[in-house]
Structures are given as structure tokens and as C-alpha cells.
Amino acid sequence: MRVPDVIADADVVARRNIIKIKRVPDLLVFTTLQPIMFVLLFAYVFGGAIGNSLAGDSSAAYREFLIAGIFAQTVVFGATITGYALAEDVRKGIIDRFRSLPMAPSAVLTGRTFSDVVNNVLVLVVMSLTGLVVGWRIRGSLLEALLGYLVLLVFAYAISWIMAWIGTLVPSPEVVNNAAFIVIFPLTFIANTFVPLETLPGPLRRFAEWNPVSTVTQAARELFGNVPPGTPEPTGWALQHPVLYTLGWAAVILLVFVPLANAQYRRAASR
């Protein structure tokens, strides 16, 4: 099929998924409720203790340090919606219905992943407002802040293709959630999302320095101007060039998992 036809078909699928968000607002509510709870919990319950490891005023510095990590964790976990929704569509036979229509097969996954970008934008808006309430501020320029949000969304979009592959591979939506949690949960915690890397023991610190979740967090933190004063300069190449390293990871993930997910989609839909 022609590229314009593929884009048009993907747009239709994306609209279908966005309309579902509108008609089932519980999806957006529960997607944003967890990160809001994390912000409040870490900012006001653990912030005093964890903030002691930061330079400057501990409570205020930690709240600004925290928000970029919450953003990164939220968009990465939000990518699991892609896998869950696709597994649900496969189980209900909706994917087989799509295959019976005169549309590009790749449009289904493309539309699904793009609609989840819209969901992540809505979540980031809610999270930003929550951050402003607890004292977070953007200290950099508007252009840098927009670039920070863009890096978060590009990385989340790449992760959603991994979830798309898993969603068409596993037998049920519940398995998608369990499998994603086992992998994503340690990745988001063995990183600089909630604590400075200097507080981690040696082996975990080495892993965290090259963990892409750390670099997407570092990129957002730097672009928002939220690096605490007196913070030591990163020693690893990845954290010294967080935007480049994060976008490199996103490109590699897309190159690998876009064809894998589309191939698995064709097999899953024929079951």
C-alpha cells in the first residue's frame, strides 16, 4: 500500500483508541493516580530523609530533583498500556476483524502506539500540574523544557513498541502486566529517578550509570534546570551526554522492535 494510505489507516486506528480514552476516563484517572501518589509520597514522606543527600535546602531541592524521575517512571510504565490493549484485542478477536478490512497491517500497531503518545501527553500535563503544586519549577528556557518533554515522549514511544511485541506474543493481558512489571520496576528504581547515583553501592551504581532510564531522567532534569546546586559532574559517558544516549537507545529499540512487533502481529492475528 502507498504511504499516504498507511498513514490514513493508522490515523483511523489512533482515533479509535483516543475515543476509548474519552469514553472510559477511568483509564486516564488510574494511569495518573499512581504517579501523583508517588510524588506526594516521596516529596513529603521520604523527601526529608532522601533530601539530605542533596546539596542546598534538602526538601526544596529534592522536590525539584524528584519530578523528572517521576516523569520518566510514569511514561515508561505508561507504555505497558500498548501491550495490554493489543493483548486484549487479540483475545477478543478484534485484530482478526482488522485483518478482514482493506487496510495496511502495520497501521494497527502504528495507530496504537501513536494514540498512547497522546495518552502520555495528557499524563505529563497532569503530572506537571501536580509538580507545580508541590513546589517544582522549570528553571531552564521554554525551548529546553519542550525538548525535555520531547525526549521523554520519544523514549516512551520506543518502549511502547517493545510492549506491542509482547502484547501480540503473550496469551493474555494479565501476563503483559506481570511480565512488564518484573522488568520495568527494577529498571526504574536502579536508576537516578529517586535518589542520586552516589548513594547506590558500586555494582548497582555502574548499572544505573548506563541504564537508559537514568539517562532519560538526567536529560529531563538538565533541560528543566532541576539539577541540584553542587551536584558532582557525571563520570560516565552516558550521563554526560544523556540526550544523545537516550535518543540512541530509542532508535535502536525502534529498529529492532518495529519489524518484530509487526511480524508477531501477523502471526498472532492468524490464531
pLDDT at 161: 95
Q: CA dist 264 to 8, 16, 90, 105, 162, Å?
A: 22, 22, 12, 11, 11
For residue 113 the three cell numbers come to 502506539
Rounded distance between C-alpha atoms, residue 76 and residue 119, angstroms: 12
Q: How far apart are the first and last CA of the chain?
A: 24
pLDDT at 255: 97
Neighbours of 232 (CB within 10 A): 9
- Answer whether residue 131 shows pLDDT above 90: no
Angle between helices 173-189 and 58-78 (to 10 degrees): 150
DSSP state of 43: I
pLDDT at 54: 58
pLDDT at 4: 61
Q: Strand runs (DSSP E) across 141-258, as ranges?
A: none
Answer yes or no: are the C-beta atoms of 268 and 262 closer than 8 Å.
Answer: no
- Answer whether residue 246 shows pLDDT above 60: yes
Encoded amino acid at 176, one letter: V
pLDDT, mean over the chain: 84
Q: How confident is the model at residue 220 (pLDDT cuts 50, 70, 90)?
A: very high
53-67, 206-220, 230-244, range with greatest mean pLDDT:
206-220
Domain layout of the chain by residue ranges? 3-269
